[in-house]
Structure 1
Amino acid sequence: MATPQSNPFLLAADNPSQLLTLLRNDPAIASSQDEHGYSLMHAAASYNHLELLRALVNEFHVDVDLKDEDGDTALFVTETTDCAKVLVEELHASITIRGSEGQTPREKIAEEGDFPQVAVYLRMRELEAGMTEVNGVQEPTTNGAYPPPLPEGVQVNIGAMAPEEAGEVADPEFRRRIEELASREDFQGEEGQRELRVLIEEALRGQVGDDRNVRSRTE
């Protein structure tokens, strides 16, 4: 019977450095999954162990899009924007992959509602990738190409709301609207913050950015 000191899934949650030692002695463990398909990738993402994620993919060559029995990858269980950025921008996890319920990571995270900042970040990545809605389904218009990293230094100052709740965005229309709102005198007040929440909810639902091309043609 596996002890806590040798159980890789427990180590992935509680002691990632010890897990790395174990993996270097037995690299085959890196891609192991339990009876439900839960993997060390899922555990590392869920517990926000970023260096472990990097090692699993870069050193031990684990598939960053390894699925569990529900078709969910590590990105589906991510709880922080830092983890989502590592998975998407460094390790090239797919933002368009769909689980067995037909949802992308962003759609599932947004529906569950526990980590809205992650859903907003993923929505911004969709916009960067040229994702559009076709018959109610988000599809890429760039042949599924991996979106480029966000421009260095691009960040939105949204005052009372923590910046990570809106994510770093490169979509011009979202940035224009949020900067316009932030410049208002009542931004720190109840009404300004209410409108900010509405804007973030629109991003979660994928309603921000649809008129980008219209604006660019008319300016």
Structure 2
Amino acid sequence: MSGFGMAPFGANHISTTHTTSIDASTPWVAASDGNLPLLQTSLSALKLTVAAQDENGYTCLHAAASYSQLPIIEWLLTQDSSLLHQVDKDGDSALHYASTVEACQSLVTQSIDVQTRNHSGKTALEAKRAELDELIQDEDFEETDPEAVTLRRVVEYLASLSTISQ
């Protein structure tokens, strides 16, 4: 998984004694893959905190929520609960990135603000609804598509929170 983290292999590349190399993107990759030992090792080797952000403001919590890595979400939040308030450069919180109901529930249980609006003015619910609408508009859309089913469940869960708080 390239594309997130702070830099490609090069000056920031650290070789470990194992077969795994650590570079500036390793913490984000480890978080998205659910590899807690590698996440911990890479944060330490790179002298980063759990609140570190890449050039786009993306955190390891964003990465873990994106891939529904529940043990990583839990560990990160036990290290620093203020991560719940971090947003990326688009204003998206970890809840905006959460890819499953379980990831959403994990964040909500830890008291993430479900009303946080990104720079487009959308809450996580509104962003997920827009994502679902876009998916439905695709000419190849099928109701039983696993991505659509999961996204619909996320929208339903987040919508249920809105009705509870009113």
The residue aligned with 2:75 is 55
Unaligned runs of 5+ in 2: 1-11, 15-19, 133-147
> AA paired with 2:127?
K
Aligned amino acid, residue 69 of structure 1: K
Mean Cα deviation higher: 17-26 or 103-112:
17-26
The residue type paired with residue 117 of structure 2 is R
The one of 36, 41, 44 aligned to 2:56: 36
Q: Which runs of 5+ in 1 are unaligned?
A: 131-219
Shift of 1:25: 6.8
Secondary structure at 2:84 match in 1: coil
Partner SS, residue 121 of structure 2: coil
Partner letter of residue 54 of structure 1?
A: E
Residues 50 and 15 of structure 1: is their aligned pair in 2 closer, same or farther, counting only changes over 3 Å? closer
**SS in structure 2 opposite 1:93?**
coil
In 1: Cα distance, 2:102 partner to 2:74 partner: 13
TM-score between both structures, scaled by the size of structure 1: 0.54
The residue aligned with 2:21 is: 5
Query: Amino acid of the residue matched to residue 11 of structure 1?
Result: A
- In the aligned structure 2, how far is the partner of 1:5 from the partner of 1:60? 26
Q: Note if contact 2:32-2:63 (Cα within 8 Å) is conserved in structure 1.
A: yes
Letter of the 2:157 counterpart: Y
- If asked which structure has higher relative contact order (CA below 8 Å, sep 6+), I would say 2
Q: Residues 20 and 52 of structure 1 are in contact (CA less than 8 Å); yes or no, is this contact kept in structure 2?
A: no
TM-score (norm 2): 0.70
Match of 1:83 among 103, 107, 113: 103
Aligned residues: 129
1:22 shift after superposition: 3.8
Amino acid at match of 2:113: S
Return the alpha-carbon distance in structure 2 between the equivalents of residues 70 and 125 of structure 1: 23
Structure 2 match to 1:104: 123
Establish whether residue 122 from structure 1 lines up as the match of residue 151 from structure 2. Answer: no
**AA aligned opposite 1:123:** A
CA RMSD in angstroms comes to: 2.0
